[in-house]
A and B are shown apart, each in its own frame.
Chain A
Amino acid sequence: MIDAFFAPLAAGFASIAEFWTLLYICFGVAVGYTVGAIPGLGKGTATAVLIPVTFYLEPVAAIGLLIGIAKGSTAGSAISAILMNTPGEPSSAATAFDGYPLAQQGKAGKALKMGLYASVIGDLLSTLCLIALAAPLAQFALEIGPVEQFAILLFSLTFIGALAGKSLVKGLIAGTLGLLVATVGMEIETAVPRFTFDRLELFDGVPLIPVAIGMMAVSEMMLQMANHRALDRQVAEIRISSRPEDSRVTGADWRRCLPAIFRGTGIGVFVGILPGLGASVASFMSYGATARMSKTPERFGKGAIEGVAASESADNAVVPSSFVPLFALGIPGSVIAAILISAFVIHGITPGPMMFVEDAEIVQSLYAAMIVASFALLGIGLVGQSFFAWVIRSPMRVIAPAVLFFCVIGSFMQGGGLFGIGLMVLFAVLGVLAKKLDFSFVTFLIGFVIGPSLELTLRQSIPLLDRDIANLAQHPVAAVFIGLTIVLIAIMALAEIRRRNRASRRSETPLSLKATGRNT
């Protein structure tokens, strides 16, 4: 067994142990890391630009280059998320929830390093899963049909409870609004446009990047610039802390983060093998799950290092595991996997089960290339981070306009042109209101990210169950998750009722008033 695992891999390493192949892999990681860190340039742009270049490369070098971009950009996008609250890729939005507060506390170095380590560990473990278990994992993924996916997504919505902040009700309101915004776009079955106001740009739904940038980064900058005195104080705060332990990952941090990293990797691998969910769903799920399991969920959103680790390990774990359905079945599990299909086909390889027979050597070399890319990511990431450190050394008066500039570019590039900028401004206003009124934009974004998949799988589940809930008995996995969801909601409701009772007794306010009145 062990031999069967290592012998082909050794052959793979031998075949890529050539200067140019290794260079292209590292080049891919470096390009990916850079474009990931710059909002507006994503892996989509980078691969689209480089696909023609790969025409002239050997298949392994070409595909290694593209895989390097995928891995690099997924990790690199944490940089802008942490330093500027502006996720470079949608999947890093959850990284900013705690990464940016950490940076504001002068712990940017710590957050960046932890993010990178989490990315690399998630990436490497997921790559090993792909190598060892591609065929059985793909078979397992086919068992997780729409009904099971719906139950799991529904379950993940209960994470809102842990992330709602001070008020569960406000958290639920924001989460529901997120679900509502997720319904914008063409209805899946009849192609009826919903809430699109005749804008063609909204047909495929509201794009995530302008929404996330507007709500998180722009609203933050608006609030800061509205208050000049606070701005000057920020200048002092954003500087690197003088204490060395704030710029590195300590043993205590590792103890906090390792469970989150392993959980995130598990969630990332699982989400990656299911086609259609994607890295954003994985990172939000992992972030939510970590907050849920935490003994101190109130720290999340204020600089909990394990929040960064949870999100970054999950989104990087998605990249290799999304190749499981690609290699084993020929189905792309993600956008980057779809681009890889194109690269495979151009080089005369048809992805799918036959690849292991017909192009076994190439598969081995690719596996080796993916492991090399994981380690290249670690090295390039550490070097790259010191480059990007200039951001934290600059005064806030310089940072704010620069961040806004990148916000505008990012929304323009990934939100359909000028329309994306308009969207960004709209959601920036909503973000300011949310912050002033203490509504959680985290739960809003969770609802918004999970919403489309939740709706699709629900719509699929109803006909698949023949419109009879009793048929759920044939889907034990789904039944268990729906049961868990109900139990969790009951527990949360009971806890909330008890909390209110306690509060009302303490303040001696009549219960009826408290139950209907504002809840702070």
Chain B
Amino acid sequence: MNILRTIGAAAALATATLTAGAVWAADYPSKKITVLIGYNAGGGTDTIGRVLFEEMKETLGQQITVVNMPGAASSVAALKLKMAKPDGYTLMLAPSSAVATNQVWNPNAKYEVDDFTMIGAVASYQPAFAAPMDRPYDTFAEFVEWARENPGAKVATITPASKVQMELVAQKEGLELNFVPVKGGAGMIAGLLGGDFDVAYSGGAHQKYPDQIKTLAAAGRDRLAASPDVMTMDEYGYMSSYGSALALVGPAGLPEDVVATLEAALLEAGRTESVREVMGNLDFPAKETGAADLTEEAKAAYEAELELHKAATATN
């Protein structure tokens, strides 16, 4: 079954590349490009996107329209993209986790990594575990000790993956934690500033408050660009989640030369001063990833998240 599907996909890909490639080779893009963004206007992804596309418009010589399609952490937009024609005129800007790991947690996100063509990424997200400044611990190890002596520490999580991460810590160390669900970054920051939470998962917005919020650990595999001295969860001996990048994605079977054109335009736009400035203001560290690397990363992220999911279901 699996082999059949792979062969089928490969065949479809080959046909699509052959037929489409021949037609589109020289004149792409010849009309307006639509980019789906799976969040409301005004979020980090949307803001960077709008500046990014201003620059890409110059290089590509075509208009780029943004369509905001919020829902289920970009999964609604991803499903829409999956159904789009792979001609390079419908794309999506999203955290790579939207196409790589959402489907692990959300049974209705009915797609696989292979349903998409990775084009490239210009920035990385900075997930971390953070705490209010007045708490007596400064590192994640100190927090674990504190939580052992003070059962019922309040842990705020946004994503299911971040909750599983902390559950695994609690299980390993025999901690008694109180999990507080939070919707979105604004509630998270308000809770940290108000001192309601002892530890909170943050997508990166907490970096703007160095006087009120401290970073205990990087939640992803890599250390944070904003605080390189803070150790990762891996380094503390716990499970890290896979990092996510701000990626431009197309439907499966996008012709190679279209990918190459878009990849070059995207990475070039990512290097411009205006984009760098906006990314700096939003605490998105610039990190270039090409199409090939991004595809590898997305697949690795999927496998890693699947493991996290298995560990979580094993405990419950």
Tell me the A residues contacting B by CB distance below 8 Å: 44, 47-48, 51-52, 55, 141-143, 145-146, 186, 188-191, 193, 196, 198, 200-201, 203-204, 275-276, 325, 329-333, 335-342, 345-346, 348, 350, 352, 416, 456, 459-460, 463-464, 466-467
Contacts and interface: CB of A to CB of B under 8 A. Distances in A.
B154 A340 contact: no
B108 interface: yes
A129 B50 CA distance: 33
B163 interface: yes
A338 B71 contact: no
Contacts of B79: 200
Interface stretch (B93-101, B176-184, B239-247, B254-262): B176-184
A388 to B, nearest CB: 27
Contacts of A141: 190
B194 interface: yes
Interface stretch (B39-47, B119-127, B226-234): B39-47
A345 B44 CA distance: 10
Contacts of A335: 40, 42
Nearest to B155: A463
Interface string B85-119: 00000000000000000000111110000000000
Nearest to B72: A203
B133 interface: no
Interface stretch (B5-13, B214-222, B277-285): B277-285
A203 B109 CA distance: 10
Given A345-B47, A350-B281, A338 B76 contact: no
B196 A348 contact: no
Contacts of A196: 108
A516 to B, nearest CB: 40
Contacts, number: 138
B44 to A, nearest CB: 8
Contacts of B154: 463-464
Interface of B: 40-43, 46-47, 50-51, 54, 66, 68, 70-72, 75-76, 79, 105-109, 152, 154, 157, 160, 163, 178-184, 186-187, 189-191, 193-194, 196, 208-209, 277-278, 281-282
Contact of B194 (A143, A186, A200): A143
Contact of A466 (B40, B178, B181): B178
Contacts of A464: 154, 178, 180, 196
B71 A145 contact: no
Contacts of B50: 51-52, 342, 346
A290 B54 CA distance: 48
A44 B194 contact: no
A55 B274 CA distance: 11
15 contacts: A142-B193, A145-B194, A193-B106, A200-B109, A275-B186, A276-B186, A329-B189, A338-B43, A341-B42, A342-B41, A342-B46, A346-B47, A350-B208, A350-B281, A456-B181
Given A145-B196, A332-B42, A456 B183 contact: yes
Given A196-B108, A339-B42, A345-B47, 10 more contacts: A44-B41, A189-B179, A189-B181, A200-B72, A204-B71, A276-B187, A335-B42, A463-B180, A464-B154, A464-B196
A112 B178 CA distance: 50
B72 A204 contact: yes
A483 to B, nearest CB: 22
Contacts of A460: 180-182
Contacts of A44: 40-41, 68
Contacts of A330: 189, 208-209
A52 B54 contact: yes
Given A335-B42, A342-B41, A463-B179, A189 B163 contact: yes
B199 to A, nearest CB: 12
A242 B121 CA distance: 65
Nearest to B188: A331
B230 to A, nearest CB: 21
Nearest to B69: A416
